[in-house]
Amino acid sequence: MLHGIIRRLLSAIPTLLIGITLCFLIIHLAPGNPATRFLNPSQSAQTQEIIRERFGINQSVPVQYGHWLERVLFHFDFGYSFYNGKSCVVVLISALKPTLILSFWALIFALFVGVSLGIVTATKADTRFDRIINSIMMVFISTPAFWLGLMFIGLFTIRLGWLPGSHLHSLYYDQLNSFGQLLDSVKHLILPVLTLGLPLAATLFKYIRTGMIDALQSDYILAARARGIRQSTILWKYSLKNSLLPVVSLLGVIIPALLSGAVIVEVVFALPGVGRAMVTAVFGRDYPILMAGATLAFITVIFFNMIADILNMVLDPRIRNGSGGL
């Protein structure tokens, strides 16, 4: 198994290199160089030369590529924001906390709802209950997150006034005692987490339900039933274990979806996260931030893909021994 894990770790290296190169190409194949926005005809030739040198655009593209690769790979340096001159990594990491909190709870919510509903409907396949839950989930898969968020804000924040619809805390957060602070944070998180989590829960539900129905019809379940093993043991111990395996592989789909979804949800709920930093950067034409954001998001996904594959190797003997599986 160790051999397999090492091979998987090594195979991530070319993937990372290609991805980082693609990010560079996207910026440099686009017409005009971003840094030219600092140049204008009224500057003296000398000033222009200094600016060119400062942004490294007086060098040829391959040289620039070499620098970019070296900085990213060996110094984890993505350059500096055009907007405030801060290091891109610092800007994005300081925006990471809201994104992480939001994505984490949305994932937990989605797993809980998706898995439990998936199991329950699989045992009652083709009943009226199954059909109703299925239709509801179909709608949630197709619901644009920003619309769901808007409707939540309209209903629960503006009409009913039950839950706050923006920011991570209230203005008077510092004056609350620790229980009050916790309650305040939880209240602020409910609507964004639901907005991000419900469509994801619906997607997971679809996979779990299919996996469970397949598992419940397979021979080993039939054999377990013939031996008189209880229904609940069959359900929770035998079928669930096998239908959870695909969910681990789904991490590769879930993580990009969470990151993209967080962009929209952070904008709708005014959360100061990575996604909102990206959108702000688009409007400010702050290319270093955009480039760093896209590259870091890519590295995150590659990392989780690797974790998923290794987890699969640990959990699934067929893949571990290289004798089939996915």
Partner 1 sequence: MKILPSNALKNRSLSSGYAAIGLVFLFLLLGPLLTPNNHTSQDLSVSLQAPSASHWVGTDYYGRDVFARLVYGGRITWLVAIAATLIAVCIGTIIGLFSAYRGGWIDLVVMRLVDVMLAFPKLFVVLLIVGLGASSINLLIWVLALFSWMEIARIIRSEVMSQKNRTYIKSARALGFGTPRILFKHVLPNILGPIIVSSVLLISTIILVESGLSFLGLGIQAPNASWGSILNDGKIDPLGTWWLSVPAGLLILTTVTGFNLIGDGLQQLFDPKKSL
- Enumerate binding residues for partner 1 (CB under 8 A): 14-15, 18-19, 22-23, 26-27, 30-31, 34, 138-139, 141-147, 150-151, 153-155, 158-159, 206-207, 210, 252, 255-257, 259-260, 263-264, 267-268, 278-279, 281-283, 285, 287, 290-291, 293-294, 297-298, 301-302, 305
Give the residue with the Cβ less far from partner 1, 187 or 206. 206
Residue 177 beta carbon to partner 1: minimum distance, rounded to whole angstroms: 34
What values do phi and psi take at 111, rounded to 5?
-60, -50
Taking the alpha carbons at both ends of the chain, their separation in whole angstroms is 16
Give the residue with the Cβ less far from partner 1, 189 or 291. 291
Cα(119)–Cα(242) distance, integer angstroms:
12
Beta bridge partners of 87: 80
Structure tokens at 83: 């907007």
Contact 1, 9 (CB under 8 A): no
Give the residue with the Cβ less far from partner 1, 9 or 50. 9
**Residue closest to 115 by CA, chosen among 195, 202, 194:** 202
Give the residue with the Cβ less far from partner 1, 218 or 233. 218
Give the residue with the Cβ less far from partner 1, 234 or 301. 301
Question: 315-325 as b/e, with b when 16 or more CB fall inside 10 Å?
Answer: ebeebeeeeee
Residue 314 beta carbon to partner 1: minimum distance, rounded to whole angstroms: 21
DSSP annotation of 33:
-
**Residue closest to 83 by CA, chosen among 287, 314, 239:** 287
Residue 252 beta carbon to partner 1: minimum distance, rounded to whole angstroms: 8
Based on its alpha-carbon atoms, the radius of gyration of the chain, rounded to whole angstroms, reads 24
Give the residue with the Cβ less far from partner 1, 190 or 294. 294
Residue 288 beta carbon to partner 1: minimum distance, rounded to whole angstroms: 11
**Residue closest to 186 by CA, chosen among 282, 109, 252:** 109
Residue 194 beta carbon to partner 1: minimum distance, rounded to whole angstroms: 15
Residue 154 beta carbon to partner 1: minimum distance, rounded to whole angstroms: 3
